Amino acid sequence: MKGENNKDIKEAGNKKKDKTGYIIKTVLNSLELLEAFKDEKPELGVSELSKILKLHKNKIFRLLATLEHKGYIEQDPASENYRLGLKSLELGQSFIHHLRLLSIAKPILKDLVARLKESAYVGVIRERHVIYLDIVEANQVLKVASRVGNTLPVYATAIGKSQIAFEPFDWVERLLPEKLQGYTKNTITDRAVLFKELEKIKIQGYAIDNEELDEGIICIGVPLRDYTTHIVGGISISAPMIRTSKEKLENVIIPLTVAAGNIISLKLGYDIGKKFPED
C-alpha cells in the first residue's frame, strides 16, 4: 500500500505541468456556460445554450440551476431566459480591485520592509478568514514563513482584527465562528474579551497579534480603505519576538506600519483627513 502511495505521488509530480488529466468535466461545462454570455446576447435560453455548448438540454438546465443557486446566473421571470447574476459581477470587480490593491501596495510595502527588515503582507477578509494575497519578504536568515494563499482566522491575526474592528458589531458577531478556537495560550477565545480588544483597535488604528496564532511571532496589522471609505483589505508586519523589543515595536514598527497603511489608503482614494468614519 505504501509503495502504491509513493507511486501515486510520483505520478502526480510528473503530471504537474500537464494537468489536463485532472480536469472535472462538469466544472468545465459550468465555466463554458458562463463564458457563453460574454460573446452572445445578454440573455440566453436553455435551447440556445444547448446549441452553443453542444450539450443536452437536461444537462444545461442542471448547470443553470446550480449556478442560479449560487447567484452566478439569474432567470428573467418574464422571458424565462437566463443572464449573468450579481455574483459574476462581484467576482469580476473583486479581481480588478485586488489587482489594483496589490499594484499600489507593493512598492510601499517594499519600502516598509527595507526600513524594518521584517516581512510584510497584504490580505483581505473572505467569510470567516483572512486570505493573504501577497508578501514582501525580509532579507533575514530567521524570518516568518510565507502565508500567501493561506486562509487564517480573522480573530487570531493582526491583519484580520485590524479590519473587523471597524465593522458593525452585528456583522462581526455573524462573521465569527460559534466557538473561537485557541491556537496558542495567547489566542483570544472569549467573545467579550475580543470585542473589548476590537474597541481598542478602533481607537488606536492598528491591531497587534501577540503570539495569538503562532508562538514566537508578533504581528502589527493596519486596515486599508478606498474612495468609498469602506475597508478593502489590510497590511501587516510579522516578526520573531526575539527581534522585537517593546521600544522598537512602539517607536518604530507601529508608526511606520500605520504610515504605510495611510499612504496605501490615500492612493486608493481615501481621504485620510476624514479619519475613519463610523460604520
User: Which residues, other chains included, contact 241 with Cβ-Cβ below 8 Å and sequence gap of 6+?
Assistant: 211, 216, 217, 218
Give the Cβ contact number of residue 197 at 10 Å.
18
pLDDT at position 29 is: 87
Summarize pLDDT for 192-201 with one digit per residue, the tens: 999 999 999 9
> Of how many residues is the chain composed?
279
Q: What distance in Å separates the CA atoms of residue 23 and residue 210, rounded to the nearest whole number? A: 43
User: Which residues, other chains included, contact 49 with Cβ-Cβ below 8 Å and sequence gap of 6+?
Assistant: 33, 36, 55, 60, 64, 82
Q: Is 219 exposed, middle or buried (0-12, 13-18, 19+ CB in 10 A)?
A: buried
CB burial of 239-255 (b: ≥16 within 10 Å; e: otherwise) equals beeeebeeeebeeebbe
Q: What distance in Å separates the CA atoms of residue 155 and residue 161, rounded to the nearest whole number? A: 6
- What pairing do the DSSP bridges indicate for beta strands 119-126 and 151-153? unpaired
In the chain, % of residues over pLDDT 70: 84
Q: For residue 225, give the C-alpha cell.
A: 480603505
Q: What distance in Å separates the CA atoms of residue 203 and residue 155, rounded to the nearest whole number? A: 17
pLDDT at position 34 is: 87
pLDDT at position 249 is: 94
Q: What are the residue ranges in the chain where pLDDT is below 50?
A: 1-2, 4-16, 276-279
Q: What distance in Å separates the CA atoms of residue 106 and residue 112, rounded to the nearest whole number? A: 10
pLDDT at position 276 is: 47
Q: List, in sequence order, every residue forming a beta bridge with 134; answer none if it has no partner.
A: 122
Chain centre to alpha carbon of residue 263: 20
Residue-range domains of the chain with CATH: 2-84 (1.10.10.10), 90-274 (3.30.450.40)
pLDDT at position 83 is: 87
Backbone angles phi, psi at 242, to 5 degrees: -65, -15
pLDDT at position 84 is: 85
231-236-242 Cα angle (round to 5) = 155
Summarize pLDDT for 190-236 with one digit per residue, the tens: 999 999 999 999 999 999 999 999 999 999 999 999 888 889 999 99
pLDDT at position 164 is: 95
- Cβ atoms of residues 137 and 146 within 8 Å: yes
pLDDT at position 113 is: 95
pLDDT at position 17 is: 57
Query: Which amino acid does the sequence have at 49?
Result: L
